[in-house]
Amino acid sequence: MKSAQRLLEYAAKQGVSACFANPGTSEMHLVAALDATPQIRPVLCLFEGVATGAADGFGRMTGNPALTLLHLGPGLGNGLANLHNAYRARTPILSLIGEHATYHRANNPPLASDITALARPVSAWLKTVERPQDLVVDTAAALHAARTLGPAALILPADVAWSDEEPDPVTSAPDASPQGWLGALDQAAAALDARSVLLLGGRKLSARACSAAQRIAEKTGAQVYVETFPTRIERGAGRAPLKRLPYLTEMAVGVLAGAETVVLAGAVKPIAFFALPDRPTEIAPPGASIVEFFPPFGDPTEALEALADAVGAAKSHAARAETAAGATDAAARLDPGGFAQAIAALLPENAIVSDESNTLGLYAFDAAAGAAPHDWLTLTGGSIGQGLPLATGAAVACRDRRVVAIEADGSALYTIQSLWTQAREGLDVTNIILNNGAYAILKFEMMRAGINAQTEAAAELFDLRRPGIDFTQLAAGFGVPAQRVTTLAEFSAALRRSFATPGPTLIEAIFP
Amino acid sequence: MKSAQRLLEYAAKQGVSACFANPGTSEMHLVAALDATPQIRPVLCLFEGVATGAADGFGRMTGNPALTLLHLGPGLGNGLANLHNAYRARTPILSLIGEHATYHRANNPPLASDITALARPVSAWLKTVERPQDLVVDTAAALHAARTLGPAALILPADVAWSDEEPDPVTSAPDASPQGWLGALDQAAAALDARSVLLLGGRKLSARACSAAQRIAEKTGAQVYVETFPTRIERGAGRAPLKRLPYLTEMAVGVLAGAETVVLAGAVKPIAFFALPDRPTEIAPPGASIVEFFPPFGDPTEALEALADAVGAAKSHAARAETAAGATDAAARLDPGGFAQAIAALLPENAIVSDESNTLGLYAFDAAAGAAPHDWLTLTGGSIGQGLPLATGAAVACRDRRVVAIEADGSALYTIQSLWTQAREGLDVTNIILNNGAYAILKFEMMRAGINAQTEAAAELFDLRRPGIDFTQLAAGFGVPAQRVTTLAEFSAALRRSFATPGPTLIEAIFP
C-alpha cells in the first residue's frame, strides 16, 4: 500500500471527512488514494483560494479539520490569503501540499519553490514528510496540531507519496491540548467589576458561552464585548445581546476608555487594524491591566461557565435580544438600514451567515441580534475574498442548514469561482452581492488617513463601474441561478424565494 | 513631499510607466502619490494574480519593469503564482508591497504576516525600506535588480510611505549587469559540432538571435533547440524554424540522446518538470558536458551573433519557416490540428500570443512557425492562471498590436477577472478559451505516473462538466463580448471578426 493511501486512511480513522482539492501532477497518488478512502469526500474547487476558504468554513462549523489538496508552492500561494484568515481564526485545517520528489528538489525544476517559507506565516504547525517511515507519526502530529492550535500543513514529496514502505506506528499520545484558563480563574473573577471589560473570542462563541458572559456582566457590572471579527458566534432573538468591539480604532478606544482591566476570554489583546499618522495603535487605555483568562485556540464555553459560577452569577441572564421587526416591503431603493432589517426579519432558523459585507453590511450584525437563532462568521484576518469560499465550506459541513453569504462586490471578485463548487455540490447557499460599484471602504480609509480621496488616481483605483460588473451573468456562467434587485421589496421577495429553494442562488443587490 | 511620492517620481524618471494595482488601506499614500506622477499609469486589477501576471506580460514586451501595488502579505500571496512564473522568466518587475507601520508590526495586528518570507521564493531581489532616508537608494537598487535579474520586491511600511523626511541621494552607480558570455565564447565555438546541442533561452529570443542560432547550426552541424517554455520568442514565416525542447521528459531525453555537449545560451540546464517512478530527471545524456555560454537573465542576441561570427557562419540562414496554408473552413468539429492550422493562417502580422493552451494547443506553436511574424510567450514557471493576465499586460505595453490569448479552460478560471481589466482599458485582446470540460492534462499525467486515471475520485477531480461552465456569460459579466463556436469554420470566422474589431473579445471554442 502506498504512503498516500496510508495517510488518507489514517486521517479518515481520525474523523477527517472532506478534502477541498485543486490537485496537480505532483498529487496524483493522493488523488488515486482518495478512491480507496470513501470516508473522505473530495470537493473540487476551481481555484486554491476557494479550497482553503472552504476548509476554513468547514472547520469553523464542525470543529474538525478538513483536508486541502494543493499543488506545490504556487498552489499554496493561491490559497495563502484564506489560510491567513483561517490562521487568525485558529480554524482546524490540515493542508496537504504536494512537493517534488526529494531527490528532484535539488534540480530546481520550473515549479520548484521554498514551500516551507511560504507556508510558515500561515501555519500553526508545519512539516515536510522527508521519509515514508515518518508518514503516520507526522500525520498524527499534524492532525493534533490542527485540532488544538489551528491550520497545519503537511508537505508531501511525490516519492514519499508513492512509496510502499511501511511507516512507523504512532507510539505515544500527542501532548494534551494547551489549557490556559484554570490558573487565571481566580484572577479573572477578582478583576471583574464595573471598571473592567470582558472581551470574548476564540474558535467558537457558543450560545452558552455568550450567556455565561452576559450573566457575568450582569452580576459584576463589567462590560462585555465580542472581539471585532469573531470566528463564529451563536446568537439570535432571546439570546444574550452582545456587541462587537468596533472596527474603527477611534471608536474602539472610546468603548474601552475608562477600563482599568481587560479580561481576555478567547480574544487576543485588542490592537488597531492599521496605524494612522498621529493615532493610537493600542485600543485599551494606557496602563490598563490585561488578564489572559482563556487562550484563543479553543472554545471558551466551559471556562466562561466556571467563571460565571466563580463570580456568583445568576443561572440565566436578564437582557435578551428582542425579536426583529418585519422586513420592510417598501419600493424604496436599497440602503444599509433596510438591508439589515430584511436580513434580521427573514433569516431562517439555524442559518449560518458568512459576513464579508464591509461597508454596506454595517448594520446587519447588530440588526440580526434579533433574528432567528443562527451562527455568524466573520472576516477574521482581514484578507478579502473569504466570504464565498467560507460559505461554501460551511454548507458542505452542514447540509441541513441554510447558509447566507453577505458579500461586498469587490471582495466577491477575488474568489467568485466558489459559485461553481456550490452548483456542483448542490449546496443551499444564498449569495447576496452588495453591489455599489466601488471599493467603498478604501475611499473611507483614505479620508481617515487624512488624504483627499477625490483625486484622479483614487477615483480610478476605487471604481468598479467602468465597466459595471454583472454578477447575474457571472453566476449563470458558473451554473448558479441569479437575480438582480434594486428595491427593498424586491430584495425581501428574492430572499424569501431563495430560502425556499434548494441549492445555491445569487441575489445581486444594487445600491445607489 | 511624502516618501510615497518621492518613490514614484524617482521610478518615473527611471522610465517606469505603468502600475498594475490592487491597493488596500496600507497603500493609500501610494495611491495619492500616483496622482502626482501622471507618467505612471495606474491599471486596476480585480485580483492580485491579474496584477502580477500583467506586470509579467508588460515586462516581457518592453524589457522595462512595471510596478505592481499589493496589499500586505495576503495581497502578495494572491499574486505569488504569477510572480513565480515571472521569476522563472526573469521578467523585470518591481513589486511595491505595503506593510504595516514599522512601530505597529510588533503589535501583530490581524493583517500582519511575514512578508519577507512570502516574497523571497519569488524575488530576485528583496528589501523592506526601514527608514525614509533609504527610500531612493533602495528604489534605485530595486529597479536595477529588476532590470538585470528579474522580479524585485520593495516592502514599504506605511509610516515610511507617509514620512516627509528627505531621503539620501543615490551617490554610486549600481553594479554593472552580470555578463557571463564573453569568457565562454571560445569554449562554446570549439564545442559546437554535429555531436552538440545549442539550447536557447533568456528573457527574449529576438528574430536576430534565432537567426544567429540557425546560422550556427547550419555551419557547425549542431542541433539547435529553444528551451521548453521560452519567455518570449520572435518568429514566423521566413524566419528560422526553431523547435522547442519537448515537455515530456521521455521525448526530451530522446531529442538530446547522443549529444556530447550542450551549450546553454540563455537557457538553464534542462531538467524534468516532474520526477516519476523509475524515470530519469536529467534530460541531457549522462556524461554530456554543459557549456554555460550566456546567462538566463538577459537578451542573448549579441552573444549569439558574436558566436556565429566566431564559428564562421554564413550571413543568412538557409532553412526558413514556410508560410502556413490557409485556414480550413470546414464544418468539421474543432480538433487540435485544425485549431492550430487556423491560428497559423489567420494570426495578424505583429501579433503577440500568450500561450497557456496545455493539451489542446499542442500543435499550435509548431504550426504558427509559418504564421505572419509574431511574438510567442509561454508558461515559464508552470503555475497555471498566467495566460489571461499576461495577455492583458502585453496589451497595455503594446497598444498598437493584437494580442491573442490561447487559454485552456481550467487555467482560465484561476484569473478570469483579467477580462474586466481588458474591457476597462479597451485592450485589443482576442481571448480564445479551449473548452474541453476537463483538466485534461491531469488525466494524462496520472497515466504517465502509472496510475489508472479512470477511478471515481480522478473522474471527480478532473471534471469541469458538472455543471458546464459558460465562458460567454462569464465574459459578458466582465464586460467583454463573447461567442461560442464548435466548428472550424465558425472558429475561423470568429477569429477574423475579432481581429478586425478593436477592444477585447472572447471566443469559447468547444472541443468534443
Query: Tens digits of per-residue pLDDT, A95-150?
Result: 999 999 999 999 999 999 999 999 999 999 999 999 999 999 999 999 999 999 99
B55 and B121 housed in the same domain:
yes
CA distance B374 to B376: 7
CA distance B238 to B323: 7
A344 and A492 housed in the same domain:
yes
Amino acid making up residue B13: K
CA distance B263 to B267: 9
Shortest alpha-carbon distance between residue A32 and chain B (Å)? 7
pLDDT at B499 over 90: yes
A272 and A375 housed in the same domain:
no
∠ CA B453-B457-B458 to the nearest 5 degrees?
30
CB-based contact, B20 to chain A, within 8 Å: no
Q: Which residue has the higher pLDDT, A37 or A173?
A: A37
% of chain B at pLDDT higher than 90:
88
Question: Which of A293, A310, A327 is the last residue in one of the domains?
Answer: A310
Interface test with A, best of B2, B27, B35 (most A CBs within 10 A): B35
CB-based contact, B162 to chain A, within 8 Å: yes
pLDDT 10s digits, B212-235: 999 999 999 999 999 999 999 999
A243 and A356 housed in the same domain:
no
Shortest alpha-carbon distance between residue B273 and chain A (Å)? 6
pLDDT of res. A456? 83
B257 and B346 housed in the same domain:
no
E strand residue ranges, A188-232:
196-200, 223-226
CB-based contact, B446 to chain A, within 8 Å: yes
Query: How many residues are there in chain B?
Result: 512
Beta bridge pairs of residue A406: A355, A432
- H or E element at residue B199: strand B196-200
Task: Note whether B424 contacts A467, CB cutoff 8 Å.
Answer: yes
Residue A31 has its nearest CB partner, among B31, B104, B461, at B461
B37, B376 contact by CB (below 8 A): no
Nearest CA in chain B to A417: B413
pLDDT of res. B182? 56
B156 and B186 housed in the same domain:
no
Task: Note whether A107 contacts B281, CB cutoff 8 Å.
Answer: yes
pLDDT of res. A175? 65
pLDDT of res. A179? 54
Interface test with B, best of A274, A379, A452 (most B CBs within 10 A): A274
Task: Note whether B467 contacts A456, CB cutoff 8 Å.
Answer: no
Instruction: Using an 8 Å CB-CB cutoff, list chain A residues near B425.
Output: none
Answer whether the bond into residue A157 is a cis peptide, omega within 30°: no
pLDDT of res. B475? 98
Task: Note whether B77 contacts A88, CB cutoff 8 Å.
Answer: no
| Grid coordinates belonging to B338 | 485544425
pLDDT of res. B446? 87
Is A328 contained in some domain?
A: no
pLDDT 10s digits, B416-431: 999 999 999 999 999 9
Give me the CATH number covering residue A493: 3.40.50.970
Task: Note whether B118 contacts A80, CB cutoff 8 Å.
Answer: yes
Q: What band does A447 get if pLDDT is binned at 50, 70 and 90?
A: confident
CB-based contact, A401 to chain B, within 8 Å: no
What total number of domains does chain B contain? Answer: 3
Helix (H, G, I), strand (E, B) or coil at B245: coil
Rounded to the nearest integer, the mean pLDDT of chain B is 95
Label residue A29 exposed, middle or buried (CB < 10 Å: 0-12, 13-18, 19+): buried
Instruction: Using an 8 Å CB-CB cutoff, list chain B residues near A113.
Output: 84, 121-122
CA distance B371 to B332: 22
Report, as an integer, the average pLDDT of A187-194. Answer: 96
Rounded to the nearest integer, the mean pLDDT of chain A is 95
pLDDT of res. A182? 56
A341 and A216 housed in the same domain:
no
Edge to edge, the sheet with strand A233-235 lists A233-235, A374-378, A351-356, A403-408, A429-435, A505-510, A482-485
pLDDT of res. A42? 96
Is A289 contained in some domain?
A: yes
Instruction: Using an 8 Å CB-CB cutoff, list chain A residues near B49.
Output: 78
| Grid coordinates belonging to A197 | 471589560
CB-based contact, A106 to chain B, within 8 Å: no
Lowest mean pLDDT among A170-174, B274-278, B443-447: A170-174
Report, as an integer, the average pLDDT of B170-177. Answer: 73
Instruction: Show Cβ contacts of residue B454 under 8 Å, excluding neighbours closer than 6 positions.
Output: none
Beta bridge pairs of residue B154: B96, B127
CA distance B422 to B392: 6
Residue B120 has its nearest CB partner, among A34, A117, A477, at A117
Is B318 contained in some domain?
A: no
pLDDT at A176 over 70: no
Task: Note whether A469 contacts B477, CB cutoff 8 Å.
Answer: yes
- Cβ count within 10 A of residue A125: 18
Range B458-491 burial, b when 16+ CB lie within 10 A, else e: bebbbebeeeebbbbbbbbbbbbebbbbbbbbbb
Nearest CA in chain B to A43: B461
Nearest CA in chain B to A112: B381
E strand residue ranges, A45-192:
66-71, 93-99, 125-128, 152-157
To which residue does cell 512537493 refer?
A: A99
Q: What band does A445 get if pLDDT is binned at 50, 70 and 90?
A: confident
Task: Note whether A477 contacts B469, CB cutoff 8 Å.
Answer: yes
Q: What band does B443 get if pLDDT is binned at 50, 70 and 90?
A: confident
Task: List, as ranges, residues 179-208 from B with C-beta within 8 Å of A.
Answer: none
Q: What band does B445 get if pLDDT is binned at 50, 70 and 90?
A: confident
Amino acid making up residue A89: A
Is A177 contained in some domain?
A: no
Helix (H, G, I), strand (E, B) or coil at B175: coil
Closest CA to B198 of B270, B119, B107, B122: B270
Instruction: Using an 8 Å CB-CB cutoff, list chain B residues near A455.
Output: 31-32, 35
pLDDT at B138 over 70: yes
Range A140-173 burial, b when 16+ CB lie within 10 A, else e: bbbbbbbbbbbbbbbbbbbbbbbbeeebeeeeee
∠ CA B45-B376-B490 to the nearest 5 degrees?
85
Lowest mean pLDDT among B7-11, B362-366, B427-431: B362-366
Task: Note whether B162 contacts A449, CB cutoff 8 Å.
Answer: yes
Q: Which residue has the higher pLDDT, B329 or B298?
A: B298
| Grid coordinates belonging to B290 | 554543459
Residue B81 has its nearest CB partner, among A77, A109, A413, at A77
A193, A137 contact by CB (below 8 A): no
Task: Note whether B77 contacts A80, CB cutoff 8 Å.
Answer: yes
Beta bridge pairs of residue A66: A93
Label residue B495 exposed, middle or buried (CB < 10 Å: 0-12, 13-18, 19+): buried
pLDDT of res. A448? 85
| Grid coordinates belonging to A392 | 461554501
A21, A43 contact by CB (below 8 A): yes
Shortest alpha-carbon distance between residue B317 and chain A (Å)? 32
Closest CA to B261 of B321, B303, B215, B199: B199
Nearest CA in chain B to A386: B74
Q: What band does A177 get if pLDDT is binned at 50, 70 and 90?
A: low
A361 and A466 housed in the same domain:
yes
% of chain B at pLDDT higher than 70:
98
Is B330 contained in some domain?
A: no
B19 and B154 housed in the same domain:
yes
B304 and B369 housed in the same domain:
no
Shortest alpha-carbon distance between residue B478 and chain A (Å)? 5
| Grid coordinates belonging to A220 | 459584576
pLDDT 10s digits, A376-390: 999 999 999 999 999
Give me the CATH number covering residue A225: 3.40.50.1220
Please give the radius of gyration of chain A, using alpha carbons only, rounded to the nearest integer.
Answer: 23
Is B368 contained in some domain?
A: yes
Task: Note whether B77 contacts A100, CB cutoff 8 Å.
Answer: no
pLDDT at A364 over 80: yes
CB-based contact, A404 to chain B, within 8 Å: no
CB pairs under 8 A between A and B: 299
Q: Domain containing B257: what range? A: 182-310
pLDDT of res. B498? 98
pLDDT 10s digits, A295-321: 998 899 999 999 999 999 999 999 999
CB-based contact, B151 to chain A, within 8 Å: no
Q: What band does A449 get if pLDDT is binned at 50, 70 and 90?
A: confident
CA atoms within 13 A on the CB side of A195: 9
Shortest alpha-carbon distance between residue A37 and chain B (Å)? 10
Task: Note whether A26 contacts B274, CB cutoff 8 Å.
Answer: yes
Label residue A255 exposed, middle or buried (CB < 10 Å: 0-12, 13-18, 19+): middle
ipTM of this complex: 0.97
pLDDT at B472 over 90: yes
Closest CA to A26 of A151, A120, A115: A115
Task: Note whether A111 contacts B473, CB cutoff 8 Å.
Answer: no
CA distance A252 to A245: 6
CB-based contact, A112 to chain B, within 8 Å: no
Is A175 contained in some domain?
A: no
A29, A60 contact by CB (below 8 A): no
pLDDT of res. A183? 63
Is B70 contained in some domain?
A: yes
Instruction: Using an 8 Å CB-CB cutoff, list chain A residues near B109.
Output: 271-274, 281
Task: List, as ranges, residues 267-296 from A with C-beta within 8 Å of B.
Answer: 271-275, 277, 281-282
A205 and A344 housed in the same domain:
no
Report, as an integer, the average pLDDT of A326-331. Answer: 80
Q: What band does B327 get if pLDDT is binned at 50, 70 and 90?
A: confident
B397, A127 contact by CB (below 8 A): no
Residue A274 has its nearest CB partner, among B26, B381, B473, at B26
Instruction: Show Cβ contacts of residue B190 under 8 Å, excluding neighbours closer than 6 positions.
Output: none
Residue A209 gets the label, from left (phi > 0), alpha (psi -120 to 50) or beta, of alpha
A355 and A449 housed in the same domain:
yes
Task: Note whether B275 contacts A101, CB cutoff 8 Å.
Answer: yes
